[in-house]
Each structure stands twice: as C-alpha cells, then as structure tokens.
Amino acid sequence: MDSDTCVARLDLALVHHPVLNRKGETIASTVDEMDVFDACRLSLVYPVRYLWLITPVPAQRALVDRLLTHGRSPTRLQEGRPRFEAVAGVASLQDAIDDAESALGCRPTTVATSAQPPTSRLALSFDRARERLHGGEAMMLLVGKAWGLAPEVLGDADEWLEPIRGGMGFDHFPVRGAIAVLLDRLLAPHG
C-alpha cells in the first residue's frame, strides 16, 4: 500500500462516559454540539471510517440523534456538510466496539489517548500507529471529554498512544483541537 494512502480503517470514539472531572472523579460529561459538528467535519478532511459518540445518558443520546437528523437532512447534504451518515450515538464503548467489529469483520485495536504517558506499559508512538493504520489494521481511537478517559478505559485499551506534546508544558487540549492533531499525525499524507 502506498505510504501516503490510508484506507478508512480508523474509527474515532468521542467518549463522554466514563471520563474524569477535574477532581479525578468518574463522570458522564455533556455532549457539546460543536464537538459533534467539528468531529464530523474532520471526516471530510481525513479518512475516518466512523465516529462514535459514547454516552449512557438518554437525554444526551437524544440530543445526538437530533443533531444527526439535522445534519442528515437533504438540504444539509447538498451543501457539502460533514459526513453525518458515518456517525452514531451509543450507550457504551463496548457497544461501539461490537458495532465496529460487526461492520469490519474483525475487532478494531482500541487505542486510548491521554495527556499522561502510561506507567504500566510502553506508549504506542505516532509513527508506529501510523504504520499500522497504513498497513490496513483496523483501529478505534478513544478520546475522552472533560479531563480525559477514566482509568478503566485506559486499562482496558489494547494500546495507549503517546501524548501530544506541543512544547509549552501545558498538556490539556480542548477535545476538538486534540482530535484534529491526532488525526493529522495519524492520517495526513507526509511529504
């Protein structure tokens, strides 16, 4: 496979639960409509196979459904809007993994993201993750809202991607910015 061509074998899971608040407590964060729209828009730039919005809160899933219905309207589709047909709101990360496995015919490798490097294992480098994606491996990138993924998500993930480092010492990205940087490092053609 051409090193600058990547098939859409990367799913993105925007996890709203279980995530941490600033006190380190596990919570369900609020779905932000701009996160949904901006993550969808990125699928027009990068070959993301599917976007999963993870929240067990029925009212939040209803909001996701309303946003997706709006985004899928014929008028919106004619305007060249983001790929809302490749997005789903689900109650749990396991639901997303199961649905992706059914569609792909194999379980995607789950790759957790965090501002903190793992202490119990080696982090997967961006270069190595990129090589594996470009080699055709199916992956699901797990990105947490609020103050990041809860320990149980990090612990259950198959891999843990190295943190984004910008060189300024501050490492708490807004989720939309983090997603854009992650997708660019993993999927953009280099050269």
For residue 20 the two structure tokens come to: 């941490």
173: Cα separation from own chain's centroid? 14
Are the CB atoms for 80 and 43 separated by under 8 Å? no
For residue 16 the two structure tokens come to: 């709203």
Q: What percent of the chain has pLDDT over 70?
A: 90
> Over the stretch 46-85, which tens digit does the pLDDT of each residue have?
889 999 999 999 999 999 999 888 877 776 655 555 667 8
Q: How many other C-beta atoms can be found within 10 angstroms of the C-beta atom of residue 12?
A: 25
pTM of the model: 0.91
For residue 115 the two structure tokens come to: 């501002």
For residue 126 the two structure tokens come to: 């961006």
Q: What is the pLDDT of residue 91?
A: 97
Q: What is the pLDDT of residue 38?
A: 84
Q: pLDDT band at residue 5, thresholds of 50, 70 and 90?
A: very low
Query: What structural domains and CATH numbers belong to the chain?
Result: 10-187 (3.40.1280.10)
For residue 104 the two structure tokens come to: 């792909």
- Whether 1 shows a pLDDT value over 60: the answer reads no
Q: What is the pLDDT of residue 79?
A: 59
Beta strand pairing status for 109-112 and 87-90?
unpaired
For the residues 148-158, what does the mean pLDDT come to? Answer: 96
For residue 40 the two structure tokens come to: 């969808």
94 versus 1: the higher-pLDDT residue is: 94
- Whether 152 shows a pLDDT value over 80: the answer reads yes
Helices (H), 1-86: 33-42, 58-71, 74-78
Q: pLDDT band at residue 39, thresholds of 50, 70 and 90?
A: confident
CA dist 48 → 3, 11, 82, 173, 180 (Å)? 17, 6, 12, 20, 12
